[in-house]
Structure 1
């Protein structure tokens, strides 16, 4: 059966301003950044330094972008970066980052400098979407002269120490809506045919193909496997169209693709992906898997500081 075309645009023709406006008019607020994120960050000020590293001013409202830092920052300590919510609809990326700060970060006090940006795309968080209001994917926009203010703000935040970061973990999800909404929308926006894909059931990681760190990735996989299941390769030996290089791990060229995990020169980089729509996982497990991944990433980097 032929799938109906995406409801915006003309098949085969990329969107212009009119189509983007039509798409934006369909997006509705479904949850609150202030209630879900800002209110959770507020009590953390008692133990961490919290600062506004940017502000998104859109027609629909203004969103402060907050970063959480170690209270006693010391330049000689290794710097660990945790990011979440680059894609606002990927819920455990945001709440996993906040849960890590709430429950686990304090045990690393005095051993690392920690920087956490838990919700990079608050407009998309509220609308449970992948893009910003201009139909841009922030996770393809971490590059010079970025067209996405969400990406540009994070790049400004890390610019002073991008060469000193030891580990960066970027927290994501892969959901059923990737296949039902986001891939069709992307194809329509770009005037291309929509190629059906397969959603992997379980947790997996995306390593940097230009500087792979297989032992680092496997340490994270081993820790997460105690919390939730790891995604198997499909019949082609792939996950989301990329070859599986080790259990639960694929590789992308993080920097050249403009992905968040490539925003620094950290020797240890990874992107997590959990599957919240799995019948074998709960929202709590997804958050716990993100926390386990962050802790394992930090522990490995501390044990192998040379990278």
Structure 2
């Protein structure tokens, strides 16, 4: 069913202009601190890893360094593993799951892979618990040439020198109840389209690349995460968030065509994780652990099957 949901900005059926975007921006409130909760943890890892600043966001009076973590003993003969989190700033376990992986597990891959981890791609949105950046743009639809999102363009520049050596890219996300209550209605209002209600799946799932699927890889990640938290079942239509379930806990998108972060390289093994933090069956600690487990499983499978 298609309905016109009320959203307090704009005129139903008309895309936002500058005035509506400015009104939206004026309503955004800082709820948490990037410096205290994220930057400090990243910099604290500097005794064991290289911490690099690959850009800076400037939104009005607010500025944020864009920080990445790299293997200290980078070896050009080894494959690269790219881990990204916080493309959508409100998806908390994407950020803290990436940091947990580096802190607790990354040392086990020294001498096996080069690690490049960008744990919080959208720090402005992290502080405001939002999906978009300050320009009301979704960075995770903006990983393409001439990107309108500074967050996306900066990550693409960071990755460019190692793009051809990336064997694994795992992009850490969440699907939350607020997707349905706030972010999808806001998207419909911004674009002047009717809101089409959907269902939020209860559990973890993955998004494979429909143009280059790797079903064995996806199932290896699912099997590892299932030891930490539950996997989302298909709905009555055999779908998760409107996409056909192709295997236990797995759907597919054309990653590059949609401008998604997981499509920024030609890595043989690509996936997007989706944790469900609002489930009564999952705690924040479990969500972070599920993300870290997914990264480990992804690397382990790739190392065992380097040629596919």
Aligned length: 306
RMSD between superposed Cα atoms in Å: 0.8
The 5 A counterparts of 1:156-305 are 156-305=157-306
Q: For 1:79 and 1:40, locate their aligned partners in 2 and report how far apart those are by CA, in whole Å.
A: 23
Unmatched segments (≥5 aa) in structure 1: none
- In the other structure, the counterpart of 1:152 is 153
1:13 aligned counterpart, secondary structure: coil
TM-score by length of 2: 0.98
Deviation string 1:158-207 (CA, Å, 9 cap, x unpaired) is: 01121210000000000000000000000000000000000000000000
In the TM superposition, structure 1's runs of 4+ consecutive aligned residues that sit over 6 Å from their partners are none
The 5 A counterparts of 1:108-119 are 108-119=109-120
- In the other structure, the counterpart of 1:77 is 78
Post-superposition offset of 1:3: 6.9
2:164 aligned counterpart, secondary structure: coil
Q: For 1:41 and 1:270, locate their aligned partners in 2 and report how far apart those are by CA, in whole Å.
A: 23
1:189 aligned counterpart, secondary structure: helix
1:298 aligned counterpart, secondary structure: helix
TM-score by length of 1: 0.99
1:280 aligned counterpart, secondary structure: coil
Unmatched segments (≥5 aa) in structure 2: none
Post-superposition offset of 1:119: 0.1
Q: For 2:61 and 2:26, locate their aligned partners in 1 and report how far apart those are by CA, in whole Å.
A: 11
Q: Check whether the contact 2:5–2:195 (CA below 8 A) recurs between aligned residues.
A: no
1:163 aligned counterpart, secondary structure: helix
Alignment of 1:306 with 2:307, yes or no, is: yes
